Structure 1
Amino acid sequence: MKNIIDIQNLNFGFSKHKPILKDLTFSVPKGSIFGFLGANGAGKSTMMKLLLGNIPDGSNSFTIFNQNSSEFYPDGFNKIGSLIDSPALYDHLSGWDNLLIVSRLRDLPGAECERVLTLVGLWESRNMKVKKYSLGMKQRLGIAITLLGESELLVLDEPVNGLDPGGMVEIRKLLMELNKKHGITIFISSHLLQEIEKMITHLAIISHGEIKFTGSMEDLEKQYMHQYITVGLFNASKFVNEVPERYSPRIVDTNTIELKVASKKEVANIVSGLVGKGAEVFGIINGGGLEDWFMEITKY
């Protein structure tokens, strides 16, 4: 199976006169961390609710695991774990008891609770009352619940929203580990672009209910990374002529050169060449990135 999710020409609205999703077409490759990115109100949560069957898809415009939603659910929930907004937890119970309740409802063995708590790094805190958990720990516990039953796909709506920087790093590392070590495909929505850029492999950008870009991060970089960067190095005037003219090198000040590049590979090659000529490079400031590209893609 090449794609876990395939969406073709999906239109949806609660009213015929106010469409929320307009002709959406994109695919989520198996084994990817797929970012579904857009501003608040762009249609992200509506799309996720359609995917999970919370809102009926009368048009059969998408498939999950090669089945349309009416065929896939309810048995398909054994393959999918989802976390929309913040997890619903019993604060007066321990992390272990929260998991035990869900596992019994799903007729899963208690060993599943141990497995998922270990995966998310909460085994040592399993007996602590959830009300004493930090926000990051609660989010990890919510993800543990989504992993019960060995889910192959996680659908996560804004999983780092409201977390402090340390909590964001915890969740990012956890999701990347689940993806790389356990082969779990992750479909994640977010408007926190600087954080999401560090983990996703593929993405779709939605604005006002329409897909403005879809593809891999490499595709996005190739299409939009024609940008200026600044390289910090000592004695810039000595080394500016060592940079090929196609990069439009320009001295900014005594210790800074500005260059126009089209890829991260070009940046690496330029810096390697400068160091090979004896330059002492102490910094690179990137003039672009997902946040800048997002603003350019969605400005119309």
Structure 2
Amino acid sequence: MNNYIIETNQLSKDFSGELAVNQLSIHIRKNEIYGFLGPNGAGKSTAMKMLLGLLQPTKGSIKLFGKNFDSNQLALLSNVGSLIEEPSYYANLTGYENLEIIQKLLKLPKRNIDEVLKIVKLYEQKDKLVKNYSLGMKQRLGIALAIVKFPKLLILDEPTNGLDPAGIQEIRELIKSLPQRYDMTVIISSHILSEIEQMATTVGIINKGKLLFEGYLADLEEDEKYLFETSDDTIAKRLLLSKGFILDKEEVIINDQNKANIAAAIRLLVKNDIAIYQVRMIRKSLEDVFLDMTGREGGIL
């Protein structure tokens, strides 16, 4: 039996002939922080809304906690908290009063209110009207509203949008604490690579509705390669290929991390009177790998 909290199979959403989500199959395990990464308009919010029953899929299926979503929707959603796009709150009520409404509607213990206010560091401002909250405080209140029932699954859509660096760091540290301290699984969307890189344990990369990659960010890091600049690249390539070296592209680039093999390549070229002007290690950054994958117009930072 698998340990997936979320599992989708060929999930698709068609809006008037345009596929916002196209055959999306994702797998999220218990207590993961799953980074849902892609450019603006990639389909992240649409996918999240389908996971919450806010949109009906055109095709495909969803399982939450190992159970079919369609036939158990209300029961399953009782264990899910969410913050989609931006927090919903009553601006003329205090932070405490906003949480009290949810607490009463869901018949939760009253102690949950104080507990989540402390978790999101709003306890000292609980009696302040929300219209007087800063943007960061409103985002933290949105997360408090999402976790006041201490759900098993938390779905957050771009929770750091519009925040200053200090606010981003606060939200980031809060999210990172949730799986271990409160036994929550978190799925968090973003178009900012550096944010996901600092929070997520695994990632799903989506663009134009399609899943391009799912796994660990480290799996995307490109291996080391060595670029040789020589007096005669054509002969250098022929010599290296004849000795079994694996070359890359049109330049003299050896795709090998073993430094002893690089030293052997240098000796081979020198022995055959090929002058070596430079040997330089090259490797694409994680950002370059993402931009190549999603299209450089995509807007991932």
**TM-score normalised according to structure 2 size:** 0.76
The offset of 1:247, in angstroms, is: 7.5
1:288 and 2:269 matched: no
Q: Confirm or deny: 8 A CA contact 1:227 1:288 kept in the other structure.
A: no
Aligned equivalents of 1:227 and 1:123: distance in 2?
52
User: 1:109 & 1:145 partners in 2: Cα distance?
Assistant: 14
CA distance, structure 2, for counterparts of residue 164 and residue 227 of structure 1: 38
Structure 1 alignment gaps of length 5 or more:
229-242, 249-256, 262-286
2:195 is matched with 195
Q: CA deviation at 1:217?
A: 2.4
Count of aligned pairs between the two proteins: 249
Structure 2: which 5+ residue stretches go unaligned?
227-257, 264-278, 297-301
Q: Which residue of 1 aligns with 2:273?
A: none
Partners of 1:82 and 1:185 lie apart in 2 by: 12
Q: Is the 8 A contact 1:247 1:259 kept in 2?
A: no
> What is the rounded CA distance, in whole Å, between the counterparts of 1:134 and 1:56 in structure 2?
35
Distance 2:193 2:106 in 1: 35
Matched residues in 1 for 2:142 and 2:65: separation? 23
1:5 maps to which residue? Answer: 6
Instruction: Provide closer, same or farther for how the CA distance between residues 220 and 182 of structure 1 changes in structure 2, counting only shifts above 3 A.
Output: farther
Query: In structure 2, what is the equivalent of residue 83 of structure 1?
Result: 83
SS in 2 for 1:170: helix
Taking structure 1 as reference, are residues 68 and 225 closer, same or farther at Cα in structure 2, changes over 3 Å only? Answer: farther
Partner of 1:178: 178
Structure 2 match to 1:64: 64
- In the other structure, the counterpart of 2:294 is 298
Change (3 A) 1:225 1:94: farther
Shift of 1:165: 0.8
SS in 1 for 2:70: helix
Q: Distance in 2 between matches of 1:24 and 1:99?
A: 34
For the pair shown, which has the larger CA radius of gyration, 1 or 2? 2
**CA apart distance, 1:166:** 0.8
Question: Pairwise mapping of residues 1-300 of structure 1 onto structure 2 (< 5 A)?
Answer: 2-15=3-16, 17-57=17-57, 59=59, 61-221=61-221, 224-226=222-224, 244=259, 259-260=281-282, 288-289=285-286, 291-299=287-295
Check conservation: 1:11, 1:19, Cα contact below 8 A. yes
